[in-house]
Structure 1
Amino acid sequence: MKGQEWYQADEIAEAYEDKRFSGGGRLIDRREKRAVLEAIGPVEDKRVLEIACGTGRFTVMLAERGADVVGLDISTPMLQQGREKARAAGVDEHLQFFRGDAGRLPFPDDHFDAVLAMRFFHLADTPVAYLEEMRRVSKDIVFFDTFNRFSARSIYNWALPMGSRLYSRWEVNSLLDEADLELVGANHDFIVPYGFYRAIPDGLASAFRSVDRAVSAIPGGDRLSSVSYWECRV
């Protein structure tokens, strides 16, 4: 998988959230968390798995809302950051972290109510295999996001340290067919790509975000979106 070594570096894990979700990145964090909560619905007492959980942004949020959560990632330093965050939030009794391979999930069939993967599929070398595993261990919801091929994301994609896989909507639909997943909802967002928002202050980012939303609301405007959120059922 792309970027495996990069994400496992201690210095990357330690700086990950400050670099991506401070300043203008805060609105990205809020939008992604809202997308997760809208897809899963009421989370209290649900059993949720996040693959590629990283530093625990979503796992801790879900545990704080009453879910029983498992976070799986290949990076030991990222998992350590997640454990520290869970302890600080007082939710470590409702949250377990495991190091593992998303292509061979160490859980039985239908074990979770929902399985999600955020900021993962742009790194995936065999995306259908990961979706099949997500489907296997979920008895209801599979939720993930992708970066879009025909968008501004492609302009700076070459600059990323590990590269990035971009998807057309046709490609995502084909993957879902192969994994035997039913698409029940899709949202397309962020015409201005993430990298731009992270580079500017929060107040300025909010102004650009208003323009972004206005363009998205124009008929056909969402075709320019750089990010898509996919809600599926098994």
Structure 2
Amino acid sequence: MEWFWVLLIFFVVIVGSLWFGYLTEEKMVGPEAARRNSRSATPLFLFWLPLSGFALFFVVEQLGRYGWVSFHILYAVSISAWWMSWFFRKQEAGSLLADVGRTPQSKFLFWIGLLQVALVVFQTWLFFTSTLTRSPEYSSLYLEISRLVLWWSIAGFTIAVGLNKLEFRENGICLVHSLMRWQRINSYTWETDKSNVLTIRFKPRFPLLPSFASLAIPANHQEVVSRILAERLVGKRL
């Protein structure tokens, strides 16, 4: 019976995340692009995330007493290394063609990051106050510390992504601390219901991962971006 409630809560969280993501994206890029992107992201939420979640739970449980501590630390180190190494990875992108600035999506993520920081500050305060009033076991103490390290890393990563700018460069498009090379892009189009929204269809790194990205381009950059895309993606406009 316990597993039933766990699965039910997991399902509600997944469906709620999809619905919230759709409503948020609809405001930013329009209903047509939001529907397309949601359909593209559905396998990620309904297949990859549940599968990886159950696999992770099984593996960590097999590691024994400090399994979750190890996972928290490794995950925190990996995401911190990812966004801190962007300065070096960005060198592969080549010379700058157009700096579009922060997109509505990145600004939204920035505020999400600030909310995460507020929650982690509260969790940190609870941890220190409870630690001063009791003497937890070492395993419990390590688990709580590692969990805080993980949450601080996630909050820092979200803020870093929120501060990231959308750039069109010689070798591809820089967004969310990643380089999407021109070769990965299958096609692009400007949305009809929201003319400043650029939708890109690209090759996902793994099957069933999202293959669309919609970006709101400021009006003063739209002409420059259109010219760059026409030069770099010849014959790929829909």
TM-score normalised by length of structure 1 = 0.27
TM-score (norm 2): 0.26
Bigger relative contact order, structure 1 or 2, given CA contacts below 8 A and separation 6+? 2
Q: Which has the higher strand share?
A: 1
Higher helix fraction (1 or 2)? 2
- Of the two, which has the highest radius of gyration? 2
